[in-house]
Structure 1
Amino acid sequence: MTGDLDPAPAPARASTRRHVVVMGVSGCGKTTVAQGIARATGMVFAEADQFHSEANVAKMRAGQPLDDVDRWPWLEALAAWMSEQDEQGRSTVIACSALRRAYRDVLRSAPPTVQFVHLAGPPEVVRARLAVREGHYMPASLLDSQLRTLEPLEADESGVVLDLRCTPEQLVFHAVSWLGE
């Protein structure tokens, strides 16, 4: 988290295009931060939840966690979208849980480079946010499942861990600074 860990350095940019995934458990602020990064940098924003199949959404609404069979097509669609945007000369920022290394590996499979901004912090902070969140199909009851699934960024993954207790503005500032924008 900001000040707690030394983030991996952002890699030198081979081109002007880049792809960023703002990751973390449901309710940590991924969408707000990703939209802020998009506004600050001009990157194209996407909400990964919009790429889920109707069956995945129905499963989550019913309080059932997704399994890997559910996730693979979703992750492949996200990687394909980033690749398409890259081919069109656009940089992207996606709000996506990307909880496991294997999921991040799929996201990294298509575009030349993908970097991660992991919003992390105490579960009780996330629970409090989920308790007041409205209009989202992901029930707070699935938070424990996400916390069990979460695998922190590894040293060889280009990313930074930010403390979700910071304000959204601070998180965007730290992320954009780390990206060198």
Structure 2
Amino acid sequence: MSTPDVIDVADVTDVTDVIVVMGVAGTGKTTIGPLVAEALGVPYAEGDDFHPTANIAKMSAGIPLDDADRGPWLDAIGAWAHERGGRGGVVSSSALKRAYRDRLRAAAPGIVFLHLTGARALIEERMAERRGHFMPAALLDSQFATLEPLGPDEAGVLVDVAGTPAEIAGRAVAALHARDAAGAR
């Protein structure tokens, strides 16, 4: 069964959760996030826009962020999610560690994670093709080393990033809807 190039949102109803599109660099958070937000009829916030200038400079220099660097960034994303609580929204954030996701949940308990995942070779290829982004492909190894997949007790879904953006977003919306239909919390 193939996924259509158009996202069918006929089954998507009241969206009140804030969805955090997460994953390592190069999985397409910035591309897929707005498509999912549009399909769900909620606003999108680009997680990279919440980074302090010092974080962007550090990553641009090829230096991975540490937990102290990520704290203010996660807090800013958490504040946005808290403000959107009950009205829905989509925001991107790598959210690679459980502790980072716990910090986001502490600010906005209803968060649902959309974990974009896929083959390392595909992700590396996509990173090599993008232009003008501050995150170099050289940091991909550190991203995978840091990644702690969603635990069974964490609200969320996993979506593979193979295919076109519309296909990936379509699978994401379908997975989120199926999760909601199953009454998952």
TM range (shorter): 0.7 to 0.9
Contact kept in structure 2, 1:34 and 1:93, CA below 8 Å: yes
Alignment RMSD: 1.7
Contact kept in structure 2, 1:44 and 1:90, CA below 8 Å: no
Contact kept in structure 1, 2:117 and 2:159, CA below 8 Å: yes
Q: How far apart, in 2, do the equivalents of 1:137 and 1:129 lie? A: 14
Unmatched 5+ residue regions in structure 2? 1-12, 181-185
Structure 2 equivalent of residue 32 of structure 1: 31
The superposition leaves residues 41-91 of structure 1 with CA deviations (integer Å, 9 ceiling, x where unpaired) of 1111011110000000000000000000000111011101111122xx531
Contact kept in structure 1, 2:111 and 2:155, CA below 8 Å: yes
1:97 aligns with 2:94: yes
1:151 aligns with 2:148: yes
Structure 1 equivalent of residue 55 of structure 2: 56
Structure 2 equivalent of residue 115 of structure 1: 112
* Equivalent residue letter for 1:118: H
The 5-angstrom pairing of residues 1-181 of structure 1 reads: 16-86=15-85, 90-180=87-177
Contact kept in structure 1, 2:45 and 2:92, CA below 8 Å: yes
* Equivalent residue letter for 1:25: V
* Equivalent residue letter for 1:43: V
* Equivalent residue letter for 2:79: A
Contact kept in structure 2, 1:35 and 1:45, CA below 8 Å: yes
Unmatched 5+ residue regions in structure 1? 1-12
* Equivalent residue letter for 1:138: M
Structure 2 equivalent of residue 8 of structure 1: none
Contact kept in structure 1, 2:26 and 2:123, CA below 8 Å: yes
Give the percent of matched residue pairs that are identical in Structure 1 and Structure 2: 51
Contact kept in structure 1, 2:15 and 2:40, CA below 8 Å: no
Q: How far apart, in 2, do the equivalents of 1:95 and 1:57 lie? A: 16
Taking a change above 3 Å as real, the CA distance of residues 41 and 16 of structure 1, as seen in their structure-2 partners, is closer
Q: How far apart, in 2, do the equivalents of 1:67 and 1:127 lie? A: 22
Count of residue pairs the alignment pairs up: 166
User: What's the TM-score, normalizing by structure 1?
Assistant: 0.87
Q: How far apart, in 1, do the equivalents of 2:153 and 2:124 lie? A: 30
User: What's the TM-score, normalizing by structure 2?
Assistant: 0.85
CA deviation after TM superposition for structure 1 residue 121, in Å: 1.1
